[in-house]
Amino acid sequence: MRLLFFISLFSLLLHAQSILVINSNSNVKKYTEAVDEFGKNFNKPFKTVDISSMNNKEIKKYLYDEYPDIVYTVGAKAYQYANEYIPEKEIYFSSIVDWKKLSLKNNRYGVSNELHSGMQLTLAKSIFNNIKTIGVIHSKYSQNLVNDLRRDGGPLGITIRSVKIDEDSVNGIRFDDSIKQCDAMMILPDPLFLNNEEAVKAVFRVSKEYKKPVIAYHELFLQYGATLVISVDNPTIGRQIASMIESHIHNEVIEKIQYPAGTNIIFNKKEALLIGVDFNQESSSFVSEVLE
């Protein structure tokens, strides 16, 4: 009987899958929140490594030495290295802007960094009355996000007005003409736009001049005057990845790419009243927080 027990135990150990969590940078709050929550909800042993201070050679050696069966990569840097050095392994990802630009194989799974565009537009329409046109400032780096907004905006009766910028046009632009023709503006996580603080300030300044609400994806934009913030709940992402890996280990069918399950919705009522935007007085019933 004891022999059978040890044979069974040896068999389990032989087939146990090693799991590695790669954090692109543990100093980034959203990365750490996802990793911490993953650890609280994943019931199997795993290792964690922060590659922010490692060079290419060190990362390559580490991944070859560990050679895990399953990898959870947090952030674009972590995914790129795992995808390059151990592409044959099962890789999960999160916290990457516009995952559609990634090189994806059959054994790739993840949670989108962006919320479902239809859900965002539905919320905006539910809160702001008479919104029919939303302006979106973007570059080639966020074209996929704009395409999704256009796709989902049509059935809702919302037209997405694209304001495309590049390295030359982003400097000194005021956005007056575009903002005048829209009922609201939406800020996307576009690196070219966000790296130009003057352009960001210009959007909020001109939107306020024309009394147009600004919809943003992170609460930091409240300081600029965002009227509505619809953001991802990062701990929820960690829980989702834990559940996805657990399900896959047990040979359960899972959706390969999932939208974040958790959402934080902040309605800046003070700003809405200040600019005189027409909004749903019952909006507090379906948002996370109202700023009076």
Q: What is the pLDDT of residues 221-241, one digit of tens each?
A: 999 999 999 999 999 999 999
Distance of alpha carbon 116 from the chain centroid: 10
Question: What tokens were used for 119?
Answer: 């859900």
Q: What is the pLDDT of residues 151-180, one digit of tens each?
A: 999 999 999 999 898 887 777 677 888 899
Q: What is the mean pLDDT of the chain?
A: 91
The pLDDT-based confidence of 102 (bands split at 50, 70, 90) is confident
Distance of alpha carbon 40 from the chain centroid: 21
Phi-psi region of 218 (alpha: psi -120 to 50; beta: other; left: phi over 0): beta
Q: What is the pLDDT of residues 67-91, one digit of tens each?
A: 999 999 999 999 999 999 999 999 9
**pLDDT exceeds cutoff 50 at 12:** no
What span, in angstroms and rounded, lies between the C-alpha atoms of 21 and 160?
A: 38
Distances (CA, A) of 34 to 20, 72, 74, 199, 238: 14, 11, 8, 30, 4
The pLDDT-based confidence of 105 (bands split at 50, 70, 90) is confident
Q: Report the pLDDT value the prediction gives residue 257, as an integer from 0 to 100.
A: 94
**CA quadruple 199, 200, 205, 210: dihedral positive or negative?**
positive
Q: Report the pLDDT value the prediction gives residue 13, as an integer from 0 to 100.
A: 42
Q: What is the pLDDT of residues 183-194, one digit of tens each?
A: 999 999 999 999
What span, in angstroms and rounded, lies between the C-alpha atoms of 203 and 20?
A: 42
Q: Pick the closest to residue 217 from 260, 156, 277, 176 (CA basis).
A: 260
> Which residue segments constitute the domains of the chain, with CATH numbers given?
2-114+234-262 (3.40.50.2300), 117-231+264-290 (3.40.50.2300)
In order, the DSSP letters of the chain are: -HHHHHHHHHHHHHHPPPEEEEES-TTSHHHHHHHHHHHHH--S--EEEE-TT--HHHHHHHHHHH--SEEEEESHHHHHHHHHH-TTSEEEEES-S-GGGS---TTEEEE-SSPPHHHHHHHHHHHBTT--EEEEEE-GGGHHHHHHHHHHHGGGT-EEEEEE--TTTTTT---HHHHHT-SEEEE---HHHHT-HHHHHHHHHHHHHTT--EEESSGGGGGGT-SEEEEE-HHHHHHHHHHHHHHHHTT----SEE--S-EEEEE-HHHHHHHT--B-TTGGGSSSEE--
Least confident of 6-10, 29-33, 71-75: 6-10
What span, in angstroms and rounded, lies between the C-alpha atoms of 21 and 50?
A: 9
Q: What mean pLDDT do residues 20-38 have?
A: 97
